[in-house]
Amino acid sequence: MTLFDQLTELTGDGLCLCEMITDAEGVPVDYRFLQVNALFEDYTGLKDATGRTARELVPELEQDWIDTYARVGLHGEKLRFENGSAAMGRWFEVYATPAEPQGRFMILFRDVTPRKHAELEREAALAQSKRLFSELNHRVKNSLAIVNSVISMEARNAPEDAQPRLTRLGNRVTAIGALYEAMAVSDAIDKVQADDYLGGIVDNLRDALAQDEDITITAQIAPLILAGRHAVCIGLILNEVITNSVKHAFTADSSGQVEVTLTVDGDEVVTTVADNGRGMADKGTPPSGLGSRLVNAFVQDLDGTIDRTSSDKGTTTTIRFPKPDTPPA
């Protein structure tokens, strides 16, 4: 067994000693294999390599390989890299180091073609999934926009007492549509940046509910990554609770403020909606309409809890739920 074979017996790597070949102007044009170990042929498919050059064995070998090894043999760099050769139809994991005299270098390598092909296939499949998801997002957003347009038309023609209900329904549809928009912007299949998505919902509600009222709606949302199913639950909860505050917490012609926060407290996410109106306290009992039933259902989906306190200084609704694991990209 040769020294080369002994060096790589335990690691199972290919090993070769090479020397750079330059033209009359010192430009690297090829390299010669001076010695190879027993695994060299298995990993490269190249036979009888000793004494022959890379381009003798692979005429279409990419110049990038020669330029890279010139950095090692001629300039003394040590390189560790992964690269593929279309001419050889293989991918290699390589460690290259200078050898004496100058111009020589050693290459320790292994064939990683099967792994690389699997990675490329996964990347292609993921890219295809993202394209399909983007198309689905586009279709869903268009469909929701049509639904919202129909709701808006119905609201304009509906009896006055039915208009607020239709408006709230439209806001729910808008909240769901915003989720698809946020996922499309993030180029993610099932994850959403909480501050972008939930902040957008608060902005929409501010425009829809408070533009004709002397009521300020503010939000402080932690930059938490949420899975899509968690995000839509929180978004719809905020939609219901903020709407309820604006509509019922303040007396006619009164000013006020609604503050929305989302923070991380240890292993929990805490979402609060707090107003400084006294209208809720005057009612004496917690809301029990469709909106409240929806909120309770969404909290249950989050495996969370909800707490509501109300006084003549305002009402605070607090939702706690387990901090979700960050969904994969």
- Which domains can be identified in the chain, with CATH numbers? 3-111 (3.30.450.20), 117-322 (3.30.565.10)
pLDDT of residue 295: 87
CA-closest candidate to residue 232, choices 164, 180, 268: 180
Residues 222, 225, 226: CA angle, nearest 5 degrees: 110
Tokens linked to 249:
């917490």
CA distances from 238 to 275, 279, 328 (A): 13, 19, 25
pLDDT of residue 188: 53
Tokens linked to 213:
């009222």
CA-closest candidate to residue 182, choices 260, 234, 246, 124: 234
- Render 56-79 in DSSP notation, one character per residue: HH-TT--HHHHHHHHHHHTT---E
pLDDT of residue 40: 92
CA distances from 179 to 86, 140, 201, 241, 274 (A): 42, 11, 9, 18, 23
pLDDT of residue 243: 82
Tokens linked to 274:
């707090």
pLDDT of residue 287: 57
Question: What is this structure's pTM?
Answer: 0.51
- Render 258-272 in DSSP notation, one character per residue: EEEEEEEETTEEEEE
Distance separating alpha carbons of residues 15 and 110, to the nearest angstrom: 9
Cβ(39)–Cβ(130) under 8 Å? no
Answer left, alpha or beta for residue 283, where phi above 0 means left and psi between -120 and 50 means alpha.
Answer: alpha
Walk along the chain (329 residues) and give the pLDDT tens digit of each residue: 566 666 666 678 899 999 999 999 999 999 999 999 988 999 999 999 999 999 999 999 999 999 999 999 999 999 999 999 999 999 999 999 999 999 999 999 999 999 998 988 888 876 776 665 566 556 666 666 767 677 777 777 778 777 777 776 777 677 666 666 665 555 555 678 888 888 888 887 777 676 556 788 899 999 888 887 788 888 888 888 888 888 787 776 677 889 999 999 999 999 999 998 876 655 555 555 667 888 888 899 899 999 999 887 889 999 999 987 654 44
CA distances from 215 to 159, 211, 322, 324 (A): 26, 8, 32, 33
Per the DSSP assignment, residues forming a β-bridge with 53 are 32
